Amino acid sequence: MNEWNPNEALLPEGWEEGADLFAPPAEEAAEETAPEAAAEEAEETAPPERDYAAEVALLRRIWPDFKEMPEEVAQMAAEGESLVAAYAVWQGREHLKEAQTLRAENAALKQNANAALHAPVRGVKGSAKQKISDFERGFESVM
């Protein structure tokens, strides 16, 4: 029995080091299908007609505030994506846009607050009249 070496790659049986693990084995790649067989297979694997009403119902159950289908979602659904997945992707993009806007606004507010903190104080004059109490007037009269 061979001992396992942690520095040695483990490969499935029949594979050699450097072989493409994601390519089909040579026997499968060599098989050619006739054009009729390929057309027949395409017909068999054609997706069944979609039930958009059920997808919209599920979409409304997940997002009760859903009112209008965005154009991007409709386009993704036309390309074969489910409505729920397409709406989730769209909503994620919208949240990212909103987050970027809020980050920019927050950065501007922080910068303004920092600038206000370090700015010199304006409008303060030392000659402002202060109310003098009767007690202080008594001292001023003696002097």
Whether this prediction's pTM lies above 0.75 is answered by no
CB-based burial label for 81 (10 Å; 0-12, 13-18, 19+): middle
28 falls in which pLDDT band (50, 70, 90)?
Answer: low
pLDDT at 37: 59
- Residue 16, pLDDT > 60, answer yes
| 91-132: pLDDT as tens digits | 999 999 999 999 999 999 999 999 988 888 776 665 556 788
DSSP line for the chain: -PPP-TTSPP--TT--TT--TTSPPHHHHH----HHHHHHHHHHTSPPPP-HHHHHHHHHHH-TT--S--HHHHHHHHTT--HHHHHHHHHHHHHHHHHHHHHHHHHHHHHHHHHHHHSPP-S--TT---PPPHHHHHHHHH-
Q: Each residue of 68-97: pLDDT tens digit?
A: 999 999 999 989 899 999 999 999 999 999
8-17, 123-132, 134-143: which has the minimum mean pLDDT? 8-17
Q: Which two tokens mark 124?
A: 């303060």
Inter-residue contact 85 to 55 (CB < 8 Å): no
For the stretch 32-62, pLDDT in tens is: 555 555 556 655 565 567 888 888 889 899 9
Give the per-residue pLDDT at 52: 84
The whole-number pLDDT of residue 120 equals 81
Buried b (16+ CB within 10 A) or exposed e, 21-57: eeeeeeeeeeeeeeeeeeeeeeeeeeeeeeeeeebee
**pLDDT of res. 133:** 85
Going by C-alpha positions, the residue among 49, 56, 51, 65 that lies closest to residue 84 is: 56
